Each structure stands twice: as C-alpha cells, then as structure tokens.
Amino acid sequence: MTGPDHEKFVGYASLYAVGALNAPERLEFEQHLELCRPCVDEVMDVLPVAQGLAQAVPLREPPVSLRTRVLEHVTGKKAPLTETDTARPATAGSPVRPVSIDEARGRREERARGSRIGSILFGLAAAACLVAAAGLGWFASDLLNRNRALQQSLEAEVLRANRAALETQTTREAVTRAEATVAILTAPDVVVIALAGQPVAPQATGRAFWSPSRGLVFTAANLPALPANRVYQLWFVTPPNPISAGLLSLDNQGRVATTIPVPANLTAPVTLAVTIESAGGVPAPTGEMYLMGQPPAPRPAD
Amino acid sequence: MWLLGAILDAGGAGTLQAASAKPTADQDVVQRMANGDAGALATLYDSQIRAVFSLAFRIVSDEAEAQDVVQEVFAQAWAQAGRYDPARGSVSSWLLTMTRSRAIDRLRARRARPESTRLPEDLAVVDLPDPARGQEHAVLQDEAANRVRAALQELPLLQRVAIELAYYEGLTQSEIAERLEQPLGTVKTRIRTGLLKLREALAGESAS
C-alpha cells in the first residue's frame, strides 16, 4: 500500500539513494518510508546499485606514509607492521583467503539472523522502522540479500562482456571521449556560457561548458545549413585578436556537440563566437557572426 | 521476480560462498576494534584503504585532502566500531558511506569559500582497466568496479552526468537542475531512469 501523499515522492527513492536530497527533503522522505511499501521497494532496488558507484571509481594508490600517519593518529599507538611486511609479497590491498564449508555455512546462518533483527536501510532511523514492525524488516532484508547475491553471480559474466568490449580500439576511443566529456560536465569549476543566435540566425542556440581545469564542451543547435565551400568556425574572443577554437561539424539537423581543446594561456573562460568562413577555416574571423555568448559574472559564494 | 528466484537457485552455494568469506572476517575485525584492538584497525586499513582512498580522491580531486578524508574515516570507524551493525550492510559499504559523506562535506565547504578555484592536480579522467592485469587482488577490485562502471558507460550522457553530479559532487536535485539548466522534474526522472537502467543492465547480463 502506498503511503499518504505518495505522488509527491515519486522519484525520491533514487534521489535518496544517490544522496541528491537536501536535509529537509531527506527527513520528509524517511518519514514517508515508514508508511509506504512501494517506496521502500524502490529504495531497496536502487540502493545497492547506488552504493556500487562508490567502487566504480578509478583506482588510486595511497602513499605508503599514510598508513603510519592514520594508525598512529587514531589509536595513539605505534602502527603495527602490515600483513605485507610479515606474510606476503608486495600486493597490498584486499587480502583473499579460501573459505571453508563450515565457515560459509556459519556466515549464511549469521546473515539470516541479522536479517531478522535489523533494519537494512542506511540512514533510516531505527525508530522509523518500529511502525512497520518486523514484517517490513524481513521483507526488505530478503530483497536486499537477493540483490546482493544476484550481483555476486553476475560478476564473472559482466567482467567478460566488459573486457570483450574494451578489446577494440574504437570502443576504447569512444569510452575515452565520453569519459572526458563527463569529466568536464561534472567538474566543480565548470562555467556554462549561453550563446545566442545573432541577427542572421536568431533561432540558433549554443551552450559551452567550460571547466578551466578540465576543458571545454561546446554544443549548438538550429544552425542553418551551410552553402557549399563554407564552414562554421568557433572563436575564443580574446583581445586584441580572437583565437580559432576550430571548425564545427554539424549533423543533418544543424546540431553540434564536441570537446574543444583550450589554449594553455586561457586560464579563465572568455567570450565565444561562431562565424561562417571559407572551407578550411581562416586565421582570423572575417565572415558573419551566427552565435555569440559571454561567460557569466562570477557568482558569490553560497 | 520468478526469474530472480530461478537465477539465485541456479547460482548455488558457490557464489554465495565466495561472497561470504570476506564480510565475516571484516565483521570480526570491527568487533575487535570495538574492544580497543589497535591491530584490528591496521588490518581493516590494509584491506580497505585502496577503495577508501580511491573514492576520497575521486570526490575531492586533491591528494592532500583525500589523505585527510582517509584519516577522518578511520578515526570515525575506530570511534563508532561498537555501533556497527552487520544487518545494515557490509563493512566495506559502511566505510565507503562514511568516505563519501566526509569527502562531500569538504567539497561543499570548498564551494562555500570564494577563493577556492584550486585546480585538481591530477587530470587523469580516464581509467580503463588493463585486460593484461592478472594479479588476484587487482582482478577482484576491477570486477566489482567494472560491474557498475561498464553499465554507467551505457547510459545516455545526461542520465549519467546527473547521477555523477549527485553521487560524486554532492549536488542536490535543485543544484543539478541549475547546473544542467533542466527542470527539476527532468533531473528527477533522469536519475531514476538511470539507476533503474543500471540495475536492469546488471540483471540482464546475468539472465543471458
């Protein structure tokens, strides 16, 4: 049965799972979860996937010195040797050991006990579960355990498929481009520049996502079809002379989306413009301007 | 749902057995930490540091700050070991949840400071797994990571960006809407559709 005001919370389960609710929204939703079985189901569905995001990051090796610093700071005692120092070759990281049948059975029994007594939702206060009583806890735990086990059984298959895909160079390159684009769009310092259509093409629009640290993604739409032997050229409008940012290739609907290298001397976003030029491009703009936009004024801190 | 049941039954004890080995050991370690065993903290550090540090660095994009996050996370784990409840999730989830939370706090504090345009020192945005890597621990790490990473790459770009802005940059739905210049409802739908697709992608792989 859905809880009261359910319509208001459609889509909240996913936002909750990826941490996209602000504090009041989160509180409100957790109160709703006490009463709404479908919302609990949805959280259970997506929570393990969202938590998988924590592991889907590029692997980065910590400095060796960090271990001593952390252990001594936290416990106030001298750090003990690593397992690596005493027992195994230099492969720090997740130690793996074989598991016996007895151990595996013990673990399953332990998990079954844990399921009955505990709430499994991170961040859901224990008190919130009392309303729903033991039935919900069992139901939700069961689902989560099924999800977990399912994911475990998938690992080998997905790994194989993933590797096969990565074997072709074209896939690698496509992935690289997508990664670079995502990195720019999600950069903490990204600035969005809206480019407006100029009098020759008032319907044209453009957007630039410019991260000084990561690069520039440029998109445009509704650009008029080009006459023969003409191209659209993008410019960094810097005094005294604009610098070419390259030629734009349109799709058949007048759209473009591309990653643009930023010259090293441009440390902050500048005005961007698109002009029409002779095929092959020109060193300085000569043709009519189709799009133009300036970076927004820096925002005050919030 | 019947399908899931069938897969699980067919999966058998082999997969479950593999899955259960580590949590048991980890839970024991956390229990020893709750009793003040400093050696247990070292053991936990050795088994989890790469995942914790990698996530911290992914979020704060700064070596020194990532190290500070690691220190805070293990201090918190040490202080709260007695309150860890295995029924709520694995030890690894517990640590990574704390890691994300601490790292996002730093990111938000940094955003609130006006003079904070410090550049990330490392711009390596691409981390393709190297199929030639054969070490056991490296493969295990990549398996867990690749499962989600591969599915993420299949998502339409804006679904993926919305999810990444939420999870790794700590933006709320309203902030994401503003950043992407999209209505709030669209952002909500993108995140939801994206996560459900990730889940389906994972389930679909196993069924085939």
Looking at beta carbons, which residues of chain B come within 8 Å of A47? none
pLDDT of residue A289: 92
Check CB contact under 8 Å for A108 and B16: yes
Selection from B170, B79, A18, A52 nearest residue B71 by Cα: B79
pLDDT in tens, B131-186: 333 333 333 345 656 777 888 888 888 899 999 999 999 999 999 999 888 899 99
ipTM above 0.85, yes or no: no
A14 vs B99, B100, B191: nearest CB: B191
The residue of B126, B171, B197 whose CB has the most chain A CBs within 10 angstroms, and thus the best one to mutate to test that interface, is B126
| Separation CA A155–CA B139 (nearest Å) | 11
The residue of A12, A51, A74 whose CB has the most chain B CBs within 10 angstroms, and thus the best one to mutate to test that interface, is A74
Nearby residues of A146 by Cβ (< 8 Å), 6 or more positions away: B4, B5, B8
Compute the nearest-CA separation of B82 from chain A (Å). Answer: 15
Compute the nearest-CA separation of A97 from chain B (Å). Answer: 8
Per-residue confidence of chain A (302 residues) as pLDDT tens digits? 677 778 888 889 999 999 999 989 988 988 888 888 888 888 888 888 877 888 888 888 999 999 999 999 998 877 776 654 444 444 444 433 444 444 444 444 444 433 333 333 333 333 333 333 333 344 455 555 555 555 555 555 555 555 555 455 555 566 666 777 777 878 888 888 999 999 999 999 898 888 888 888 888 888 898 888 889 999 999 888 889 998 888 887 788 888 888 888 888 899 999 999 988 888 888 889 999 999 987 655 54
In angstroms and rounded to an integer, the radius of gyration of the C-alpha atoms of chain B is 19
Check CB contact under 8 Å for A158 and B150: yes
Sheet of A230-237: strand order equals A243-248, A230-237, A271-278, A289-293, A191-197, A205-211, A215-221, A256-260
Mean pLDDT of successive 10-residue stretches along chain B, which has 208 residues:
29 35 74 92 93 93 94 94 83 90 91 56 34 34 67 87 93 92 92 88 57
| Separation CA A277–CA A78 (nearest Å) | 69
Set out the domains of chain A in order of their start, with CATH numbers.
6-57+98-163 (no CATH), 191-293 (2.60.40)
Length of chain A, in residues:
302
Nearby residues of A31 by Cβ (< 8 Å), 6 or more positions away: A128
Set out the domains of chain B in order of their start, with CATH numbers.
22-114 (1.10.1740.10), 135-208 (1.10.10.10)
A120 vs B5, B89, B96: nearest CB: B89
pLDDT of residue A1: 64
Backbone angles phi, psi at A58, to 5 degrees: -60, 140
Tell me, yes or no, if B133 comes closer than 8 A to chain A by beta carbon.
Answer: no
Selection from A299, A174, A171, A28 nearest residue B117 by Cα: A299
Residue B74 amino acid letter: F
Check CB contact under 8 Å for B125 and A183: yes
Rounded (to 5) percent helix, strand, coil in chain A: 40, 20, 40
CB count in 10 Å sphere of residue B116: 13
The residue of A154, A195, A207, A258 whose CB has the most chain B CBs within 10 angstroms, and thus the best one to mutate to test that interface, is A154
Compute the nearest-CA separation of B93 from chain A (Å). Answer: 7
Check CB contact under 8 Å for B93 and A58: no
Nearby residues of A251 by Cβ (< 8 Å), 6 or more positions away: none
Looking at beta carbons, which residues of chain B come within 8 Å of A74? 41, 71, 74-75, 78
Cβ atoms A237, A270 nearer than 8 A: yes
Check CB contact under 8 Å for A152 and B172: no
Q: Please, which contacts does A89-93 make with residues 24 or more away whose CB atoms are closer than 8 Å? A: A91/B135, A91/B136, A91/B137, A92/B46, A92/B49, A92/B50, A93/B46, A93/B47, A93/B49, A93/B50, A93/B137, A93/B138, A93/B141
- H or E element: which one contains A235? strand A230-237
Check CB contact under 8 Å for B74 and A46: no
**CA A217-A221-A222 angle, 5° bins:** 160
pLDDT of residue A161: 55
Nearby residues of A54 by Cβ (< 8 Å), 6 or more positions away: B51, B55, B93, B96, B97, B99, B100
